[in-house]
């Protein structure tokens, strides 16, 4: 409905800001990093503030991509507004991680475009992307015995010059990020000594310390127990509400996607099999076609959320 | 309406942040560490100048310009200690940088076969240019070129499906090291007996009779290398998280990797061309510093420079006094310490620090 108007808005913005825009933004961030401790952390630039409720944070149009000559993505499009959470779901090998890599700029698409805050991703340099977009991978291995605080402070790197030490301002941001994910008590522990759930929270805190407008999370709750899953989604919800963080997460857990995501991209074999609200996408027909197994789709009596259960019948004769 | 990202939070007391001071690298901790290591280096160097395979009287050496003590002090001891310091600094800094690059605390110029490649290049240059002349320029150049080729080959061969496998890397490096050793022995067996002493010198690693010119050459190339590595120290921290993660934090991964490869190859080439293969310094020194002080490369690199210098000067002091009046090559001392240390790190720390 309104996407045409938004596209026009983007086109106007692009025409206005021009290709040279990343330079003053980077220079401003640099000035902020060097100015010391007392400057309150404002958004990089008012004109590209994505935190305005409903502003387009990210848009991908008709992406195709692959490895070698194997095509794994066939014309996928998404759009994501500030404060929203988009869940990418689908069977193994559907292209979820590939899509996430393209959105983060780690992989170049064969065709199609990714816009971050109204400008093509290719117009930003790596550090400019890192000041707007944070990514948390599924596995978080660290080679050396850095402390939890040091890992979280690494999130400040895109805001700091090559020779700058973290300022009080950076430490305050790290402290707030640690507090948010309940990690203050672990701050000086080596990252290797933490459990999987704790480590995941450390990397989410690091992403938060980046002060991003968009967070790309690859299976943020894989291998975690129920309480940790609920906690992480709770924290993400807070961040979405408080500061308009836009979240894209790949999820295997359809119920979590239904409960927490505003929109769902259902993928199969690298193509879009459904895109919309959980209610629109998670129909028994859609899921049966994508997962090739019988499912039951109902409502969770406790919270009214869409609930998906396997409905294959292993004992047909009772 | 939008909230600012993370506001300055007045509820975060100074005490809470001060409490963090020992949990990350601060300027004060860095300054204290580097000052302590600098003092250690000075003390070790003075001891190393004062003692050796023959006794000299330092006072007479300074006062009496015609004394043999003076000739030994300025002609042998001081250049040797300077050479030990700068080569040790280069080896330790290169070790720390390579470990960051391949995300493996067991990487090191000697173990990865890079020093071996450099030594082979140096020996070929020696043999080829000894008659043509110009070998003092050709040897470091060939050592550098061969180090770089060796680095790139090891790195390429250790990649499986585009991912760098830590243990594959070590295995490939060990094989390259053995290969270069064999290639050097092959050259040794087909050239004039005249070269044999030099070839053994490169294989074992020694600071025998360095000239001030050689010291200057390694100092200049090493100094440039130090500056390059220190300027990439924060990127090395981010690379510890993984290539993709570093890129997502704004690191131009390929460019940084290329820079570090070239810098370390020049540094190893320069060191090997004057002192041969001295193994394990690049493994032991960064490891001790990381364990004692922390993993942040902004301190690890400069601390490895100072610590590597002190360690190598001390090792060379042992090498030339332990069986006086004969001397051991310093490479033998570092390998005798380093072999067991390598096994220790492999068993105790390898799994843990790789989080496997």
| Token pair belonging to B326 | 């004969």
For chain A, say whether B231 makes contact (Cβ under 8 Å). Answer: yes
* Nearest chain B Cα distance for residue A259, angstroms: 24
Q: Write down the pLDDT at residue A48.
A: 41
The Cα B111–Cα A121 span in angstroms is 41
ipTM: 0.85
The Cα A45–Cα A29 span in angstroms is 9
Q: Give buried/exposed letters for B308-339 (b at 16+ CB in 10 A, else e).
A: bbbbbbbbbbbbbeeeeeebbbbbbbbbebbe
The Cα B132–Cα B123 span in angstroms is 14
> Do the chains contact at A158 and B27, CB–CB below 8 Å?
no
Chain centroid to CA A273: how far?
21
Q: Write down the pLDDT at residue B12.
A: 62
The Cα B237–Cα B103 span in angstroms is 10
What part of B 97-126 touches A (C-beta under 8 Å)? 99-100, 103-105
The predicted-structure confidence for A83-123, as pLDDT tens digits, reads as follows 999 999 999 889 999 999 999 998 899 999 999 999 999 99
What angle is formed at CA A79 by the lines to CA A77 and CA A80, rounded to 5 degrees?
A: 145
For chain A, say whether B255 makes contact (Cβ under 8 Å). Answer: no
The Cα A166–Cα A154 span in angstroms is 9
Q: Write down the pLDDT at residue B352.
A: 52
For chain A, say whether B4 makes contact (Cβ under 8 Å). Answer: yes
Closest CA to A287 of A306, A313, A315: A306
User: Which of A127, A143, A176 is facing B353, going by the closest CB pair?
Assistant: A143
Name chain B contacts of A151, Cβ cutoff 8 Å. 241
Q: In what order do the strands lie in the sheet with A70-81?
A: A70-81, A56-67, A111-116, A119-120
Q: Give buried/exposed letters for A45-75 (b at 16+ CB in 10 A, else e).
A: eeebbbbbeebbbbbbbebbbbeeeeebbbe
Q: Write down the pLDDT at residue A53.
A: 55
The Cα B268–Cα B89 span in angstroms is 11
> Do the chains contact at A144 and B295, CB–CB below 8 Å?
yes
Q: Write down the pLDDT at residue A274.
A: 94
The Cα A89–Cα A255 span in angstroms is 11
Q: Write down the pLDDT at residue A26.
A: 36
> How much is the average pLDDT of A283-304?
92
User: Which of B17, B249, B353 is facing A192, going by the closest CB pair?
Assistant: B353
* Nearest chain A Cα distance for residue B24, angstroms: 5
> Do the chains contact at A145 and B353, CB–CB below 8 Å?
yes
Q: Which of A17-31, A72-86, B171-185, B262-276 has the lowest mean pLDDT?
A: A17-31
* Nearest chain B Cα distance for residue A307, angstroms: 32
The predicted-structure confidence for B261-287, as pLDDT tens digits, reads as follows 899 999 999 999 999 999 899 999 999
For chain A, say whether B237 makes contact (Cβ under 8 Å). Answer: yes
The predicted-structure confidence for B5-17, as pLDDT tens digits, reads as follows 455 555 566 777 7
> Do the chains contact at B234 and A162, CB–CB below 8 Å?
yes
The answer to whether the CB of A59 falls within 8 A of the CB of A46 is: no
> Do the chains contact at A171 and B238, CB–CB below 8 Å?
no
Task: Please report, for residues A136, A228, B88, B277, B279, the alpha-carbon distance to residue B329 in angstroms, rounded to integers and kept in the order given.
Answer: 49, 58, 14, 10, 12
Q: Write down the pLDDT at residue A264.
A: 96
User: Which of A129, A137, A155 is facing B244, going by the closest CB pair?
Assistant: A137
pLDDT at A317 over 80: no
Q: Write down the pLDDT at residue A155.
A: 96
Task: Please report, for residues A45, A239, A244, the alpha-carbon distance to residue B2 in angstroms, rounded to integers and kept in the order given.
Answer: 14, 11, 7
The answer to whether the CB of A198 falls within 8 A of the CB of A142 is: no
> How much is the average pLDDT of B215-234?
96
* Nearest chain B Cα distance for residue A93, angstroms: 17
> Do the chains contact at A104 and B248, CB–CB below 8 Å?
yes
Percentage of chain A exceeding pLDDT 90: 65
> Do the chains contact at B2 and A49, CB–CB below 8 Å?
yes
The Cα A251–Cα A228 span in angstroms is 15
> Do the chains contact at A211 and B6, CB–CB below 8 Å?
yes
What angle is formed at CA B346 by the lines to CA B344 and CA B349, rounded to 5 degrees?
A: 85
Between A and B, how many CB-CB pairs are < 8 A? 164
Long-range CB pairs of A62-65, under 8 A, 24+ apart, other chains included: A62/A111, A62/A112, A62/A113, A63/A99, A63/A102, A63/A109, A63/A111, A63/A112, A63/A113, A63/A114, A64/A109, A64/A110, A64/A111, A64/A112, A65/A98, A65/A99, A65/A102, A65/A107, A65/A108, A65/A109, A65/A110
> Do the chains contact at A131 and B250, CB–CB below 8 Å?
yes
The answer to whether the CB of A274 falls within 8 A of the CB of A228 is: no
Q: Write down the pLDDT at residue A158.
A: 94
> Do the chains contact at A126 and B6, CB–CB below 8 Å?
no
Q: What is the DSSP letter of A147?
A: B
User: Which of A137, A153, A162 is facing B245, going by the closest CB pair?
Assistant: A137
The Cα B26–Cα A167 span in angstroms is 10
For chain A, say whether B13 makes contact (Cβ under 8 Å). Answer: no
The Cα A109–Cα A125 span in angstroms is 17
- Average pLDDT of chain B? 87
pLDDT at B250 over 90: yes
Burial of B343 (0-12, 13-18, 19+ CB in 10 A): exposed
> Do the chains contact at A244 and B252, CB–CB below 8 Å?
no
| Token pair belonging to B21 | 């001071």
Q: In what order do the strands lie in the sheet with A246-250?
A: A133-136, A214-218, A246-250, A85-89, A263-268, A271-276
End-to-end distance of chain B based on CA atoms, in angstroms?
Answer: 45
The predicted-structure confidence for B15-57, as pLDDT tens digits, reads as follows 777 778 788 888 888 999 999 999 999 999 999 999 887 788 8
Residue A115 forms beta bridges with which residues?
Answer: A59, A120
The answer to whether the CB of A76 falls within 8 A of the CB of A23 is: no
pLDDT at A136 over 90: yes
Name chain A contacts of B354, Cβ cutoff 8 Å. 141, 143
| Token pair belonging to B342 | 């390598």
Q: Write down the pLDDT at residue A13.
A: 38
Name chain B contacts of A29, Cβ cutoff 8 Å. none
* Nearest chain A Cα distance for residue B65, angstroms: 46
Name chain A contacts of B231, Cβ cutoff 8 Å. 162-163
The Cα A102–Cα A88 span in angstroms is 13
> How much is the average pLDDT of B77-82?
94
Q: In 3-state terms, what secondary structure has residue A221?
A: coil
């Amino acid at each position: 409905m309104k996407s045409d108007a938004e596209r026009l808005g983007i086109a106007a913005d692009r025409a206005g800001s021009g290709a040279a825009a990343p330079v003053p933004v980077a220079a401003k961030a640099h000035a902020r990093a060097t100015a010391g401790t007392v400057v309150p952390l404002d958004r990089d630039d008012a004109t590209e503030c994505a935190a305005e409720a409903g502003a387009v944070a990210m848009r991908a149009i008709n992406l195709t991509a692959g490895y070698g000559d194997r095509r794994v993505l066939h014309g996928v499009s998404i759009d994501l507004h500030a404060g929203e959470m988009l869940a990418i779901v689908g069977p193994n090998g559907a292209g979820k991680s590939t899509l996430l890599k393209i959105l983060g700029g780690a992989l170049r698409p064969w065709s199609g475009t990714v816009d971050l805050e109204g400008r093509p991703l290719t117009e930003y340099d790596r550090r400019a992307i890192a000041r707007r977009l944070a990514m948390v991978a599924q596995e978080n291995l660290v080679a050396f015995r850095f402390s939890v605080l040091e890992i979280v402070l690494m999130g400040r790197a895109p805001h700091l010059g090559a020779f700058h030490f973290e300022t009080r301002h950076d430490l305050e941001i790290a402290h707030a990020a640690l507090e948010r994910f309940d990690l203050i008590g672990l701050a000086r522990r080596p990252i290797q000594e933490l459990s999987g759930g704790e480590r995941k929270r450390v990397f989410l805190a690091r992403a938060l310390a980046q002060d991003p407008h968009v967070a790309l999370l690859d299976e943020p709750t894989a291998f975690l127990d129920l309480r940790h899953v609920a906690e992480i989604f709770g924290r993400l919800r807070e961040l979405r509400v408080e500061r308009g963080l836009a979240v894209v997460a790949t999820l295997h857990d359809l119920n979590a996607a239904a409960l927490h995501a505003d929109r769902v991209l259902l993928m199969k074999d690298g193509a879009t099999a459904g895109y919309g609200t959980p209610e629109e996408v998670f129909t028994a027909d859609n899921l049966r076609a994508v997962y090739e197994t019988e499912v039951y789709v109902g409502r969770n009596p406790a919270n009214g959320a869409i609930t998906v259960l396997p409905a294959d019948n292993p004992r047909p004769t009772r | 309406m939008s909230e600012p990202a993370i506001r300055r939070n007045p509820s975060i007391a100074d005490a809470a942040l001060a409490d963090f001071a020992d949990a990350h690298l601060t300027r004060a901790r860095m300054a204290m560490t580097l000052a302590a290591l600098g003092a250690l280096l000075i003390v070790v160097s003075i001891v190393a100048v004062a003692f050796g395979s023959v006794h000299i009287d330092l006072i007479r050496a300074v006062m009496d310009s015609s004394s043999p003590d003076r000739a030994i002090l300025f002609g042998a001891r001081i250049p040797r200690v300077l050479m030990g310091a700068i080569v040790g600094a280069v080896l330790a800094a290169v070790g720390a940088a390579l470990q960051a690059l391949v995300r493996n605390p067991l990487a090191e110029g000697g173990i990865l076969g890079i020093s071996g490649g450099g030594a082979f290049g140096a020996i070929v240059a020696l043999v080829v240019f000894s008659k043509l002349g110009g070998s003092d320029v050709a040897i470091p150049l060939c050592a550098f070129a061969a180090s770089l080729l060796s680095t790139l080959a090891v790195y390429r061969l250790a990649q499986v499906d585009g991912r760098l496998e830590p243990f594959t890397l070590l295995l490939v490096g060990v094989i390259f090291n053995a290969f270069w050793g064999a290639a050097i022995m092959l050259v040794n067996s087909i050239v004039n007996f005249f070269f044999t002493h030099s070839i053994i010198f490169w294989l074992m690693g020694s600071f025998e009779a360095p000239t001030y010119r050689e010291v200057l050459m390694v100092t200049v190339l090493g100094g440039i290398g130090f500056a390059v590595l220190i300027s990439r120290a924060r990127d090395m921290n981010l690379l510890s998280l993984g290539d993709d993660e570093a890129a997502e934090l704004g690191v131009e991964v390929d460019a940084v990797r290329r820079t570090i490869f070239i810098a370390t190859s020049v540094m190893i080439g320069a060191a090997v061309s004057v002192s041969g293969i001295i193994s394990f310094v690049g493994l032991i020194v960064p490891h001790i510093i990381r364990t004692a002080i922390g993993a942040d490369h902004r301190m690890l690199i400069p601390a490895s420079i100072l610590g590597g210098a002190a360690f190598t000067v001390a090792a060379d002091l042992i090498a030339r006094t332990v069986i006086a009046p004969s001397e051991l090559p310093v490479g033998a001392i570092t390998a005798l310490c380093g072999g067991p240390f390598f096994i220790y790190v492999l068993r105790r720390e390898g799994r843990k620090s790789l989080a496997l």
